[in-house]
Structure 1
């Protein structure tokens, strides 16, 4: 079994991908999926139109803040306290855009510190030849928090199963060792600095929590809406087993 880390999406993925966007898409996703159905799109227009057409709740952010008319922000702290009476369509700036570059994988999972134990166990259960930890980054640049999380997830995978590692795995783990705890890495990242400037300190605290969710968002289907992809996710720990009738 091969284990890879990509600091940004950038190649073909034959088997299992864990997409990492700690601040905030892949932290928010399992929080929502614990409570209700989840759709993800990179487009504000598609989120609004798809949400209206399906009578969904709309959650998301641009520059850290909820767009006008949205029911919720992408704040993990806010979403943890929310009670959803309908399914949710989520849009953020980085994670949903990165999805377009990994959808060719056999399985696409969303991972973070928040569901670390569950997502690594599911990835090992599903993989046949390779697990790729793919960092979403921030506006096309590498993101410290994503790389540190990839290092954390890769270290856990190594403890659970024999794997053949690539050099960037060691790089991500070296960056992980440079920080006393995940919260420190998040606070020193560009995304973390933006959220702290907006007063969203609790989002960093929630995003640094380890294995608080057993939900593992797995890409179930993709459709076009308003010229943009809308990705439907299911919880891999509650969905039927692959190949089951």
Structure 2
């Protein structure tokens, strides 16, 4: 079985994809499920997100560049979200994650992974895969990010320990980078996204995003709904 890492979404994916957006998209997703949401919805359009949430009585959680979106019920802060008790499903207005999902052509299974659900997402990916596991980083504004690359390498190392795999070179590179950051929080602190969050004094968000294997929840893409020609992705 092949194990590959893409530092940005590209090409087609024939089997299992673990999508990584550590700060903070794929860290928040399992936290929202653990907080009580049965389903999480993602869409690349803010307009569609608001309309679909209104039509389906969904809570709005969202941010842009670390700042809460006007009209949202909760900010996209893992430090805050992990203390909630939710009674409704959530429209999660993440910045990079839904755009990346849009580019995962052909994948049989799309899982959202991070340090926060590392053990569970690796176990699920290994159980589902038949020919390939692709760990795909969302990046930010079309650029690779340090925090996603280190997380991808971290997950790849765990998969390699569980399953005999054929490592492609980018996976080896990401795994090598993990050795430079034995404390993964340091990678998040040094990343450009982490520095932006520090300017906003969101230090606890960085700390929570660096916690390892805190939940068994693994958000998995169930279906793509088309709302006025814009895709809405439903995860459970």
Q: Give the TM-score band, short-chain normalised.
A: over 0.9
Distance 1:197 1:213 in 2: 28
Distance 1:201 1:103 in 2: 35
Q: Deviations over 1:49-97 (max 9, x none)?
A: 1110001100011111111110011111111011212110101211111
- Using structure 2 for the length normalisation, give the TM-score: 0.97
**How far 1:144 moved relative to its partner?**
0.4
User: What residue number does 1:90 align with?
Assistant: 92
Q: Deviations over 1:184-211 (max 9, x none)?
A: 0000111111111101101000000000
**How far 1:226 moved relative to its partner?**
4.2
Structure 1 stretches of at least 4 aligned residues deviating more than 3 Å after TM superposition: none
User: What residue number does 1:241 align with?
Assistant: none
Match of 2:63 among 61, 64, 80: 61
Match of 2:109 among 107, 110, 117: 107
Match of 1:137 among 120, 139, 146: 139
Q: Which runs of 5+ in 2 are unaligned?
A: none
**How far 1:182 moved relative to its partner?**
0.9
User: What residue number does 1:225 align with?
Assistant: 227
- Using structure 1 for the length normalisation, give the TM-score: 0.93
Distance 2:232 2:122 in 1: 25
Distance 1:128 1:155 in 2: 19
**How far 1:103 moved relative to its partner?**
4.6
**How far 1:40 moved relative to its partner?**
1.2
Match of 2:192 among 190, 196, 208: 190
How many correspondences in the alignment? 234
Distance 2:187 2:63 in 1: 22
